[in-house]
Structure formats: structure tokens, C-alpha cells
């Protein structure tokens, strides 16, 4: 019934725990689990040795190619695509599969919250308050619900995009053409969701139960900003394909963002130094400025420099 595809570069210490947990959660389904490793410096022998779990390399080809490879190897009709930092419980899979049987032509997207272990590392800081205030600590805070519908005891919201963890039929996945492998490290989910909707499918967000997300890069402001920069580097590809209009920066914005970029670490020190609720209005403004700098730099450079802030 179910196959699971997990692309990974073994970027954080929780990967093995995530694999063990999805193995437990899918035991009753006999799911085959495909872990696609995009990093040959990682020894496959270091991963948990479990029945139904298969490992293979896909070095340097990116997350889109990794997901496509996993989908080709998947043995069952339904495929769960998940990032390597998602903690999945059995009730969530039960709900998702039940919903997909009812809405077969659609894609079921799962809601998530940041894992308490991760949130605890930044709790009480101005960065944590910023993430909380602007909805970065859950998927629900990042998406807009176009239409709500109820099925049995579950509430689903129709949304435009996918990301993190989602479930759909393998048949529908290949009808859409899989992921575009030109998107090596960002926007591949956006592009797939666009083509999926064009083929008459809906993206249905299942609000409850939720996944717990080990989003480790939020524990460090610099890593979080680097991630923003990295994703924005793919904007150029969307423009080349006519999928989005070019972003226009006024000469004043360019002058400010370029001029301040060499002082980014000074601004980060100010944010950390003014770590008190009293200064939140100031530090939130600085954080918005740092995000703007990261997005601008990623967009302008559009290259592998985007791995660093």
C-alpha cells in the first residue's frame, strides 16, 4: 500500500532516529522505505540496518533527482515523500491514507510544528520570539487556506504549495512528470505543486494530527539566514522559464542592501546583544533587514555561495 521516500545529506544528528521512527510507524503497512543519500562522504553502514529500509547514493544530483529516484524504486501505489527531519507517528499515516483513498486525485500535505527538542534550544531568545510572532514555528503559520472541507473527523484546507511531508498516489506523481531535476536545492516543491494543480489536482493540508519537525537550522540565526539565501538562488531558474516575473530592486534598495551586507555579522551581534523583550521592536526590525539582505544576495549571486550567509 505505502512506500516512503527520504532524501538526505545526513545534515543533522537526528536522521537515524527519524528513520527508526518511520520504520516503526509503517510496520503495519509493510512499507518499503527508500533513503536516498546525496553525499558520498557519508558511509551507508552508519545508518540503521532495518528490514524494509533501503539505502542508495545519488551524489550531487540534488533533492529533486533524489525524490524521483525514490519514486522509481517505490513498490506500492501510495508514496509518502518526507524530509529527513520529520518525526512521524502512526495515527498521522492512518489519517493521511484514509483521506487519500477518498481524495485519490489530490495530494495530502501534513501540518507540522517544530519539535520541542529544537524549540527548547532557542526558547526565551528574541530570535525565538520573532519566529513565533511571524509563524515560522509551524507549517500552518506559513500557508493560506483557500477553502476548508471536512471529511469524517478531519479538517482539510486547500492550499497552493507543498513542502516537508506529503502523500499522493504514484500514478498521479508520474502523470505530473515527477520533480524537475533542474531545481537542485530549492523551489522544486513550488514547481511540482504548480504542475499538479494544472493537472486538476488539489493540495489538501491535513490540520491534525501533526508531524514534529526537527528543523535544526532554526537553532542558529546564521544557518537560518543561509537557508533563506540558498532557496532564493533558485529564483533565477523560475524567471528563465517564465514562471515568475523578475524581482525589481530600486537603486536605493540595492544601495542599502549591498552597502550593509559587509556588516551583517555586526548586525547579528546587535541582535544577540539586545536579547530582551524590551528591545523586540528594534531586534525584529534588524532581523527583517537581515532577511532582506539574505534574499537579495541569494537572488543576485544565484550560485553555490548561497550555502553561506
Spell out the domains of the chain, with CATH numbers in brackets: 2-219 (3.90.550.10), 221-307 (no CATH)
pTM recorded for the entire structure: 0.90
pLDDT digits (tens, 9 = 90+) for 27-82: 999 999 999 998 777 888 888 899 999 999 987 788 899 999 999 999 999 999 99
Closest by CA to 6, choosing from 32, 39, 34, 44, is: 34
Judge if the upstream peptide bond of residue 209 is cis by omega within 30 degrees of 0: yes
Burial class (CB in 10 A: 0-12, 13-18, 19+), 259: exposed
- Select the highest-mean-pLDDT range: 161-165, 181-185, 237-241, 300-304: 161-165
Per-residue CA distances from 210 to 1, 86, 98, 207, 213 (Å): 22, 10, 15, 7, 9
Closest by CA to 199, choosing from 164, 169, 224, is: 169
Measured CA to CA, the distance from residue 217 to residue 232 in angstroms comes to 16
pLDDT digits (tens, 9 = 90+) for 105-154: 999 999 999 999 999 999 999 999 999 999 899 887 777 788 887 887 88
pLDDT at 304 over 60: no
pLDDT digits (tens, 9 = 90+) for 226-243: 888 887 877 777 787 787
Amino acid at each position: 500500500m505505502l512506500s516512503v521516500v527520504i532524501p538526505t545529506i545526513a545534515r543533522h544528528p537526528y536522521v537515524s532516529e527519524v528513520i527508526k521512527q518511520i520504520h516503526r510507524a509503517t510496520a503495519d503497512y509493510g512499507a518499503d522505505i527508500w533513503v536516498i543519500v546525496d553525499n558520498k562522504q557519508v558511509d551507508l553502514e552508519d545508518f540503521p540496518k532495518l528490514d524494509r529500509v533501503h539505502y542508495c547514493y545519488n551524489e550531487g544530483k540534488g533533492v529533486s533527482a533524489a525524490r524521483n529516484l525514490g519514486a522509481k524504486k517505490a513498490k506500492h501505489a501510495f508514496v509518502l515523500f518526507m524530509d529527513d527531519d520529520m518525526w512521524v507517528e502512526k495515527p498521522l499515516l492512518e489519517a493521511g491514507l484514509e483521506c487519500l483513498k477518498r481524495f485519490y486525485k489530490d495530494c495530502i500535505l501534513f501540518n507540522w510544528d517544530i519539535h520541542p527538542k529544537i524549540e527548547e534550544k532557542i526558547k526565551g531568545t528574541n530570535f525565538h520570539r520573532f519566529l513565533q510572532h511571524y509563524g515560522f514555528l509551524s507549517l500552518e503559520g506559513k500557508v493560506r487556506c483557500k477553502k476548508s472541507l471536512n471529511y469524517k473527523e478531519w479538517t482539510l484546507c486547500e492550499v497552493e504549495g507543498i513542502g516537508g511531508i506529503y502523500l499522493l498516489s504514484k500514478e498521479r506523481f508520474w502523470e505530473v512528470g515527477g520533480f524537475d531535476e533542474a531545481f537542485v536545492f530549492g523551489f522544486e516543491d513550488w514547481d511540482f505543486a504548480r504542475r499538479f494543480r494544472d493537472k486538476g489536482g488539489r493540495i489538501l493540508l491535513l490540520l491534525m494530527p501533526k508531524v514534529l519537525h526537527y528543523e535544526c537550522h532554526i537553532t542558529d540565526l546564521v544557518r537560518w539566514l543561509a537557508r533563506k539565501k540558498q532557496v532564493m538562488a533558485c529564483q533565477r531558474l523560475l524567471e528563465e522559464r517564465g514562471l515568475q516575473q523578475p524581482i525589481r530592486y530600486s537603486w536605493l534598495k540595492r544601495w542599502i542592501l549591498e552597502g550593509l551586507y559587509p556588516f551583517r555579522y555586526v548586525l547579528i551581534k546587535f541582535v544577540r546583544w539586545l536579547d530582551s523583550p524590551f528591545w523586540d521592536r528594534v531586534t525584529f526590525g534588524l532581523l527583517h533587514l537581515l532577511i532582506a539582505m539574505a534574499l537579495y544576495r541569494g537572488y543576485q549571486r544565484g550560485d553555490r555561495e548561497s550555502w553561506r550567509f
